[in-house]
Structure 1
Amino acid sequence: AHIYGGPTMSVAMLCEQLNIAGVNASVFTTTANGENELPVITGQRVNVEGVEVTYFKRITKDHTHFSPQLLKNLWSEVSNFDAIHIHAWWNLVSVLSCLIAVLKNVPVILSPRGTLSTYSFNNKNAGAKKLIHRSLGKYLLKRITVHATSVHEKEILTGIVPAENISILPNFVRLPVKEYPVKKEWSGVLKLLFLSRIEPKKGLDLLIDALKDIQVPWHLTIAGSGNNDYVDQLKTMAQPYINNKQVIWLGFQDESKFNLFYNNDLMILPSHDENFGNVVIESLSVGTCAGK
């Protein structure tokens, strides 16, 4: 589900490349697509870009993504795999899948992808996270291998996971095939771009608040999607700029995003925390500066 941004895309590319390299990678996932469900066949193996994927219905519509059917199938099939690679933490599917693999003595690799950062640990359902960590998380994290996508992420993880259990491997990032020409001189209007999932962690509110301090002519394009109520809050915050057409909202962008990067002067990612930040690499690849 592309709605979840860079991590989902990196996982998809990782699985595709593993299969190309001769490693049989299968995917168990839920139908989660934000507040909605993906329009896919469930409970059956399907081929997605050369990867065998099985989708399972979830019974919760929130971030827990609880899917009894996925867990039941994993319990019966987990011993057929040489290793289980789990992406993200805290949701019930991830934590309970890890528990199943540990109980069945199947090696586990966890790619938390920012979910074990200090910011994520202490924000949004912090009480529930602490309970999960004390009752089950600490036990599991000592028994698995953890994949960090950057030195920064590893430094944060060492406060939670034994350092010898952590390995660093950057994300797969798909870059444009076509070459973009060298940019011309500045037009006189500073063209800013925010391209990311829209959620509190990404700090878009900080960027909107800082716009009043810019001393040169500027224009901001916001590309991304998120919870409708939260997006509406941010639009209200930015309404004066929207009214005079200094800020425009484009919604989620996929294939056209590299043209967006190229047509702006500066891509800004004001996140409270980023384990890797795919968009930084994507922006730099077409010659557009990136700032945090």
Structure 2
Amino acid sequence: MKILFVIPVYKPAYIYGGLMAVVYLLAESLVRNGHDVTVYTTTANGKEELDVKVGEEVLVDGVKVFYFKRYTKGNSHLSPGFWNKIFLTVKDFDVVHLHSWWSPAIVAAAAVCRLRGVKPILSPHGMFCDYILTTNNKVKKQILQTVVGKSLLKNTFLHVSTPMEWKESQAILKNPWEGAIISNLVELDSVKPTGGKKPGQPFTIGFISRIDPKKGLDILIKALSKVSFDYRLQVAGTGEDEYVNSLKALAVECGNADKVKWVGWKNNVQKMQFYSEIDLFALTSHNENFAVVVIESLSIGTPVFLSRSVGLSGYVESKDLGWVTDIEDISEVTTNLERVYKEKHKQEVIKETAPAIIAHDFNKDYLTNQYTDYYKTLLAK
């Protein structure tokens, strides 16, 4: 099949993290499985621009990529060349797959598809959750959705990665939205960690992600300040200085600043070592449509502690690979952390069984075949 991915950001713009990672992993896996994949994207790289050829085909790890100059920064990524290329060539592909939403770049791309009589697949990547809808430019999103959004979404097929995201997305339109739930691909073939946690250390909890209010790290710091056992919290990742400093001040206020260590950003090899050196991975986010870090942690046997608002929380509960908590009441989070600490046997069982379960359920070829089957079903229509 000839497949077109349309996304405002693409590698090597690694600053965008999870969204970009799951997209390039899928694109590269489709190529390895014999498909012809092209990506249309922009030169976005945070506040900077990628140093790449513009408007010409560039082969990036087997994927044909066209980068187009953007004229606005932030999340708008306005790029006339990007839209013009879609307009001229979108009918040349068997499948068109749009990634993300709300960015004017991708909303306009959806409009171009409709104008050219193409019904694409849309992967919103968590953009329809309540947290996203009610924070950051809430009024602008409401206007965009009312004026053009819903009309354009009706001209798409839906793809989401978890049942939670499916439910959130279905609430956007009045009528059922035809689509499928297929898990994101996760890179599990990186260098395996050596060693593990050093003996004699306190119970160690790890957080690794972008440090952002959405991630609920403040909830974790508050809840841990009230537990009865000795612990250390390792925080890996970066964020806006003002917000990170506010969390450090919170730890001082809660009296557990001496138990919280800020260890900075980790690359793909370092983060796997990070997972191996902790007893528990914790993510008490307000919302995560998927959370690749959960699968990464479990892939080497480290149990997870998640808020119910993490998309993979249902999977973790069904496989008994960790613990899930509500986060509205800090005392409830504390109580559940106490339970985790006491359930040593369950921790050991997860360490032994999780790697094999994850290797099976998140096998790249297995998941890629699910995507191609979905594409073929839509192509037949």
Which one has the largest radius of gyration?
Answer: 2
Query: Deviations along 1:166-219, whole A, 9 cap, x unmatched?
Result: 211100011146666997897451211111122222222222333312322222
1:173 aligns with 2:186: yes
Gaps of 5+ in 2: 1-12, 307-381
Which has the bigger relative contact order, CA under 8 A and spacing at least 6?
1
Equivalent residue number for residue 105 of structure 1: 117
CA contact (8 A) 1:81 1:106 kept: no
Q: Which aligned pairs between 1:111-150 and structure 2 lie closer than 5 A?
A: 111-150=123-162
1:221 aligns with 2:234: yes
Q: Which aligned pairs between 1:1-292 and structure 2 lie closer than 5 A?
A: 1-161=13-173, 162-176=175-189, 187-238=200-251, 244=258, 246-292=260-306
CA contact (8 A) 1:59 1:66 kept: yes
In the alignment, residue 225 of structure 2 is paired with which amino acid? K
CA RMSD of aligned residues (A): 2.4
**Residue 65 and residue 233 in structure 1: after superposition, are their counterparts in 2 closer, same or farther (change >3 A)?**
farther
Tell me the CA shift for residue 61 of structure 1.
1.9
In the alignment, residue 139 of structure 1 is paired with which amino acid? S
Deviating more after overlay: 182-191 vs 226-235: 182-191
**Residue 225 and residue 57 in structure 1: after superposition, are their counterparts in 2 closer, same or farther (change >3 A)?**
farther
Which structure features the higher share of helix residues?
A: 2
Equivalent-residue separation in structure 2 for 1:106 and 1:231 (angstroms): 44
Tell me the CA shift for residue 225 of structure 1.
2.6
In the alignment, residue 43 of structure 2 is paired with which amino acid? T
Tell me the CA shift for residue 13 of structure 1.
0.9
Equivalent-residue separation in structure 2 for 1:195 and 1:281 (angstroms): 12
CA contact (8 A) 2:225 2:256 kept: no
Equivalent-residue separation in structure 1 for 2:267 and 2:194 (angstroms): 22
Deviating more after overlay: 37-46 vs 173-182: 173-182
Equivalent-residue separation in structure 2 for 1:254 and 1:182 (angstroms): 17
Query: Deviations along 1:122-162, whole A, 9 cap, x unmatched?
Result: 11111000001000111011121010101111111111144
1:3 aligned counterpart, secondary structure: helix
Tell me the CA shift for residue 258 of structure 1.
0.8
1:25 aligned counterpart, secondary structure: strand
Give aligned-pair identity as a percent.
37
Equivalent-residue separation in structure 2 for 1:234 and 1:31 (angstroms): 33
Equivalent-residue separation in structure 2 for 1:33 and 1:221 (angstroms): 28
Equivalent-residue separation in structure 1 for 2:82 and 2:76 (angstroms): 13
CA contact (8 A) 2:158 2:177 kept: no
Tell me the CA shift for residue 36 of structure 1.
2.7
In the alignment, residue 230 of structure 2 is paired with which amino acid? P
Deviating more after overlay: 227-236 vs 118-127: 227-236
Tell me the CA shift for residue 233 of structure 1.
3.3
CA contact (8 A) 1:82 1:107 kept: no
Equivalent residue number for residue 7 of structure 2: none
Equivalent-residue separation in structure 1 for 2:16 and 2:128 (angstroms): 17
What is the TM-score with the length of structure 1 in the denominator? 0.91
CA contact (8 A) 2:196 2:273 kept: no
CA contact (8 A) 1:224 1:253 kept: no
CA contact (8 A) 2:248 2:257 kept: no
In the alignment, residue 218 of structure 1 is paired with which amino acid? Y
**Residue 45 and residue 233 in structure 1: after superposition, are their counterparts in 2 closer, same or farther (change >3 A)?**
farther
Equivalent-residue separation in structure 1 for 2:247 and 2:266 (angstroms): 16
1:267 aligned counterpart, secondary structure: strand
Equivalent-residue separation in structure 2 for 1:134 and 1:102 (angstroms): 17
1:157 aligned counterpart, secondary structure: helix
